[in-house]
Structure 1
Amino acid sequence: MIRFFNEDVPYKLLQKRIISQWLKKQAEQEDYAVGDLNYVFCSDDHILQVNRDYLQHDYYTDIITFDQSEEEALIEGDIFISVDRVADNASQLAITTEQEMHRVLAHGMLHLCGYGDKTDEEAAHMRMKEDKWLQELHQLLPKNG
């Protein structure tokens, strides 16, 4: 089950049911099942503290993914997303915060499916996967207007 929580920000993810179904479908296409997965929307300050406490990193980031799965091909974990970073990144990319949030949601799930982004090659492959997943989400979301 995919759940969405707010830690210290009043962020409201739109179309939660569709987003959950989309994420599960994408995981299945990667030969993974989704168990308990928590997305936690938080502030820059909160994610910085998580980064310091658990990863010994002293910098802001848009997402931190914790894999809690004890079984192969089962996704379980916690994904912290800084709403502040997502909004700032969206502004820099000249896209909506919602569009960037969808990319970050996919990014976290891709990490739990075993994809990395430490090298340029890994990051390029991750971006290609994100783009593919986002095209599929676009087909599921209601059209505006």
Structure 2
Amino acid sequence: MATTKIHFFAEEIEFTLPQKQKHREWLLNLAKEEGFQVRELNYIFCDDEYLHKINVEYLDHDTLTDIITFDNSEVKGKIEGDIFISVDRVKENAGLFQGTFENEMRRILAHGLLHLCGYKDKSEQEEQLMRQKESHYIEKISTWNT
């Protein structure tokens, strides 16, 4: 039986995701509920500058963003990918949306994995479905005992 691997890294910043195992289990359950199995998934936490460089170099977008997801999957239904998250953007967005940092971080963790499950957010309809899915999964982890 293959082991599922979800890793959390920080690049050029000091950041540690609290309750890593709880978040791993939550993300694995999210993927499973969506009909996917995680083979290898890396979350890389960074700052605005680091993610901006990736955005320019790989996507030719000269803008700040909170997340960039790279899908490395080669087998349908098996997730392999790298998700880069700007902790700076997550903090700012939590303030803009009048939420907590923890809740916004969970939203963005789910957001990246939902992209790997095939969800898009380019149109208004796609974005609405993405937000519904994010809220659904945030509600699930919020009810877990810590």
TM-score (structure 2 length as normaliser): 0.95
Give the 3-state SS of the residue equivalent to 2:69 in structure 1.
Answer: strand
Instruction: Indicate which of 90, 96, 102 corresponds to 1:92.
Output: 96
CA contact (8 A) 1:51 1:58 kept: yes
The residue that corresponds to 1:108 in the other structure is 112
Instruction: Indicate which of 46, 54, 57 corresponds to 1:53.
Output: 57
1:43 matched to 2:47? The reply is yes
Once the two structures are TM-superposed, the CA of residue 141 in structure 1 deviates from its matched residue by 4.2
Distance 2:99 2:93 in 1: 9
Give the 3-state SS of the residue equivalent to 1:140 in structure 2.
Answer: coil
The Cα RMSD (Å) is 0.7
Give the 3-state SS of the residue equivalent to 2:143 in structure 1.
Answer: helix
Distance 1:127 1:93 in 2: 13
- Mapping of residues 1-145 of structure 1, within 5 Å: 1-142=5-146
Report the AA paired with residue 78 of structure 2.
Answer: L
Distance 1:141 1:102 in 2: 16
Distance 1:139 1:108 in 2: 21
Note the residue ranges of structure 1 that are not aligned, 5 or more in a row: none
Report the AA paired with residue 87 of structure 1.
Answer: K
Report the AA paired with residue 28 of structure 2.
Answer: K
Hey, which bits of structure 1, 4+ residues long, moved more than 4 A? none
Distance 2:33 2:108 in 1: 18
